[in-house]
Amino acid sequence: MSDQYFTINEVCSLLNISRPTLNSYRKKHGIKHITQKGQVFFKKTDILEKLSFPMANLMPTIDLTVLNDSTVEELEVAPAVFDLRLIRSIDPFGAICLMCCIKSQIANKKHVYLLTGMSSASFYLRGINFFQELKRVNAEYLHYNSETLRDVALSNPEVILPLHLIGYRGGEKSILNDIYTSLRGQGYSEDMCSSLGWTLGELADNATTHANGPCYFMLSSFVGPKKFLTLTIGDIGIGIPFTLKTNDLYKNLDDYKAFISAFKSDVSSWADIHDRGKGLNDLLSIAKGNGAWVRAESNEMGVFFDFSKNTDSVDMKKATTKAKGTRYSMVLIDSEFDYITKSEINTLLDNYLEKL
């Protein structure tokens, strides 16, 4: 029988109840069953949602956003069981971190169960194609009750491009024209469009080159006193520190210093003759020139670069997921961009590294 089902004995063992008690629960909660060769089976999502982790008295408490310090693993209420109903707030960064965490388990051939409900987080995730992208490959390893979200009308005007897979180097180019058309229609400047295109290309190149697999990208906007774009991208590759330390010049750095050093213009896992390693430095140059900020994490380490209000601060952050790979979220403000040199960013990073 499929791994999507429990036997009677498995349910009784899971809940530590007797068969008569299980029969009582089945009637009370309307739990359906199927019979095969005289044996009764229950859908795992029904047992998990209705009996093992019911919604009653459950208060959402976890904030999976770029500015918070909650972790995806706080949702894992049992091995490979993620209770999405616990999410109080979530944004593209939190969604991609959650995606990467679940994808990493599925990549190891684990069956993953998602507990969904009539919650804003579940609706948001459905609206950005979260469940669809999770099922794109190895759908047999993902289990959730889609019925709870089926008839919900979804609309999120802040999402310019929902979760989108970039499967190969340069794969982002096929979607840039559509993004530019959308942004111009919303009144964003040409400077913003060109900066966004370069940034997406650089991050996608880094991800697909070093991840040995696809990355996930999402673009959203916010209109207030100013117009903001949030670019978020993530993968489940080997991560920045491991990649950089394949270069003998950096093999003795501790992981966090390797992570931060990778943003310097003269640091790369490639040999110097390849003239690589400037992209992440340019990423920070754009953010600083724009008065924006960047959050990045890789292999259980995080950093927050804040260039708003001329603060130029660099702070260690807790990683949002323990999954391998790298995640970035960058805010761009639709305003003029000042030119920032590579040496300015290198100095900023050197000063931070000296304090570690």
Co-location of 148 and 172 in the same domain? no
The tokens for 221 are 């906007």
Q: Average of pLDDT values for 299-310? A: 92
Co-location of 129 and 245 in the same domain? no
pLDDT in the model for residue 272: 55
Phi, psi angles (nearest 5°) of residue 212? 55, 35
pLDDT in the model for residue 235: 94
Query: Longest C-alpha distance within the chain, in Å?
Result: 73
Indicate which CATH number applies to the domain containing 8.
1.10.10
pLDDT in the model for residue 130: 95
Co-location of 75 and 179 in the same domain? no
Co-location of 178 and 151 in the same domain? no
Give the domain-ending residue among 117, 139, 156.
156
Q: Compute the half-sphere exposure of residue 312: CA atoms within 13 Å on the CB side of its CA.
A: 13
* CA distance to 8, 112, 254, per residue, from 2 (Å): 14, 14, 45
Residue 153: pLDDT band (50, 70, 90) is low
Give yes or no for residue 231 having a pLDDT over 90: yes
Residue 337: pLDDT band (50, 70, 90) is confident
Co-location of 349 and 237 in the same domain? yes
Co-location of 73 and 28 in the same domain? no
Co-location of 199 and 316 in the same domain? yes
The C-alpha atoms of residue 344 and residue 347 are separated, in whole angstroms, by: 5
DSSP reduced 3-state for 317? strand
Give the domain-ending residue among 111, 135, 156.
156
pLDDT in the model for residue 2: 66
Q: Average of pLDDT values for 118-138? A: 89
Beta strands in the chain (DSSP E): 5-7, 34-36, 39-43, 62-64, 76-78, 81-83, 87-90, 112-115, 142-144, 159-166, 215-223, 227-235, 293-298, 301-306, 313-317, 326-333
Range of the domain at 31: 1-49
Which residues does residue 306 pair with via DSSP β-bridges, in sequence order?
293, 313
Candidates 80, 12, 107, 64; CA nearest to 295 is: 64
Give the domain-ending residue among 98, 131, 156.
156
Identity of residue 115: L
Indicate which CATH number applies to the domain containing 347.
3.30.565
Phi, psi angles (nearest 5°) of residue 32? -85, 160
pLDDT in the model for residue 274: 45
Co-location of 73 and 130 in the same domain? yes
Calculate the CA 354 to chain-centre distance: 30
Co-location of 346 and 275 in the same domain? yes
Indicate which CATH number applies to the domain containing 117.
3.30.750
CB 119 within 8 A of CB 60: yes
Q: What is the per-residue pLDDT across 46-100, written as a single tens digit (0 to 9) for each? A: 888 888 888 666 789 999 999 999 999 999 988 899 999 999 999 999 999 999 9
Which residues does residue 6 pair with via DSSP β-bridges, in sequence order?
42
Q: How many domains does the chain have?
A: 3
Q: At what angle do helices 173-185 and 190-210 cross, to 10 degrees?
A: 150
The C-alpha atoms of residue 280 and residue 202 are separated, in whole angstroms, by: 8
Co-location of 125 and 193 in the same domain? no
Co-location of 227 and 339 in the same domain? yes
Co-location of 86 and 144 in the same domain? yes
Query: What share of the chain in percent tops pLDDT 90?
Result: 44
Candidates 342, 205, 231, 327; CA nearest to 282 is: 342
